[in-house]
Structure 1
């Protein structure tokens, strides 16, 4: 019985230690969420402005630009997967990988070969464990993404897109990332980035009638300058959305772990008290039984 009490005490101590760790991680994630959300809000006006500018050029010019032209045959499709560098975030990484693989199956069913570009160590580890191929990988900058990372990703994707599927590049680009909806909800989202597909909602500003434009030196030069900036802003926004969603998922997972630790502590404390009471009862019964034996032997 004494050994059983020691086991319960060890389990209670272990659960208390785990709770301290998960509670600290929950608080850290909560503090990082606010910073991540502030960065998402700060980047939104620029992304909207670039989107309106690209939309104006694409709408009010009749040029046939490679980045806005729909190819006759799509042979290879780039799938950019935005995961995290760290775990302990519940279903954050598993749901985005599942979404990306479902997209890949859909592309294969349409006769398109998916090629993968990976962001985050979790996606890289998943592909390496399953011996799946990827073109490029970017790790170490998912918690607090920097714009330089978005520039690197955008440059690699644009280079592959400009080569085309026939020359080992790609004919279209898809982004797969977790979108921050609320503290409790993070939804996987797929966006076709190229050929250009404007994804802004049709609000009053975007639905307004554009004025007539004259482009200097010409519309193609303006589009050449705007489209890389547009691609970089969309990728950076996806990085920021993924970062905010990851911190929210971590906070939710760590809160659930802390609640489970509390439940374990309560359950093991009850079991320890029952075992202690049973030990005390057994000792009293042995004393009474011994006293009765002595009394009957006289």
Structure 2
């Protein structure tokens, strides 16, 4: 077999093997996506109910929210209290591995764009990172990473992310930072994801969506007797609501990660199919040329003997 023909054959076999791997990874990512979507829908029911009850309790308590600042700070606690921003915390959610297309780079780019727009730098910003990619990126650039977490499972449970969620909220309460931003990829559908950088703490009127006509206000009203008293209930629900925002974003980001991985592997499989088609054509032509050459040489040899 001529050297050129052997080289094409080796590349063709290698590409076919790669095609099998990417197709298998596409199937795995799709299965993970289906699994986490079912888990996320269940959690959203819980998160919405926590939000609804908190909205109703705050309204029943006649707490006035103006620009995210409560006039009833003793009852609503520090998570509602807006204070001068000397230090900003950013919780960045990325993946532990590659092969997820532009998922990680888009999240990091959105984070850096937000920092530039808000005038944030390594001196007035601290990072909480979920995922090895983001952790390594910000550490290599000398950023202050005060908390990091890797090895999150494909369908993370609240218990698994307990330390992340609790630390993010507790650090704000302890004054490690004066506001907490959450940077992650929001899952829209299997094709589309959108990068978000949102203010999580302090809790604002926007995050609670306190409209007068919301159905949530009808769940718990002032006409009910509550045990323990209303301020204590609010004090318990406020941290729970903040934690639900962080955990919900991690679930959302993981969903987007699996979708990005499935799309990337699907695109890689399609590219491999095109390369295989091209190489197969090259191989057939080279093989035909080699056979023609051999026939010509045999015919020439027979003619010479005559």
Distance, in Å, in 2 between the alignment partners of 1:79 and 1:121 is: 16
Residue segments in structure 1 that go unaligned for 5+ positions in a row: none
Report the equivalent of 2:257: 246
Distance, in Å, in 2 between the alignment partners of 1:278 and 1:219 is: 87
Note the aligned Cα RMSD (angstroms): 2.6
Matches within 5 A, 1:59-208: 59-61=59-61, 62=63, 63-64=72-73, 65-71=77-83, 73-108=84-119, 113-164=124-175, 169-197=176-204, 198-199=206-207, 206=214
The verdict on how the C-alpha distance between 1:203 and 1:251 changes in structure 2, with shifts beyond 3 A counting, is: farther
Distance, in Å, in 1 between the alignment partners of 2:281 and 2:212 is: 61
Distance, in Å, in 1 between the alignment partners of 2:14 and 2:196 is: 39
Distance, in Å, in 2 between the alignment partners of 1:208 and 1:226 is: 15
Report the equivalent of 1:57: 57
Instruction: Judge conservation of contact 2:52–2:217 (CA < 8 Å) in 1.
Output: no
The verdict on how the C-alpha distance between 1:283 and 1:294 changes in structure 2, with shifts beyond 3 A counting, is: same
The verdict on how the C-alpha distance between 1:74 and 1:286 changes in structure 2, with shifts beyond 3 A counting, is: same
Instruction: Judge conservation of contact 1:85–1:140 (CA < 8 Å) in 2.
Output: yes
The alignment's TM-score, normalised by the length of structure 2, stands at: 0.86
Report the equivalent of 2:9: 9
Report the equivalent of 2:293: 282
How many Å apart are 1:76 and its aligned residue? 1.0
Distance, in Å, in 2 between the alignment partners of 1:202 and 1:278 is: 76
Instruction: Judge conservation of contact 1:79–1:117 (CA < 8 Å) in 2.
Output: yes
Distance, in Å, in 2 between the alignment partners of 1:215 and 1:119 is: 38
Instruction: Judge conservation of contact 2:128–2:147 (CA < 8 Å) in 1.
Output: yes
The verdict on how the C-alpha distance between 1:204 and 1:83 changes in structure 2, with shifts beyond 3 A counting, is: farther
Instruction: Judge conservation of contact 1:78–1:117 (CA < 8 Å) in 2.
Output: yes
How many Å apart are 1:16 and its aligned residue? 1.0
Q: Where in structure 1 do 4 or more consecutive aligned residues deviate above 6 Å?
A: 200-205
Instruction: Judge conservation of contact 1:80–1:118 (CA < 8 Å) in 2.
Output: yes
How many aligned positions are there? 290
Please state if 1:34 is matched with 2:34: yes
How many Å apart are 1:269 and its aligned residue? 0.8
The verdict on how the C-alpha distance between 1:260 and 1:140 changes in structure 2, with shifts beyond 3 A counting, is: same
Please state if 1:46 is matched with 2:46: yes
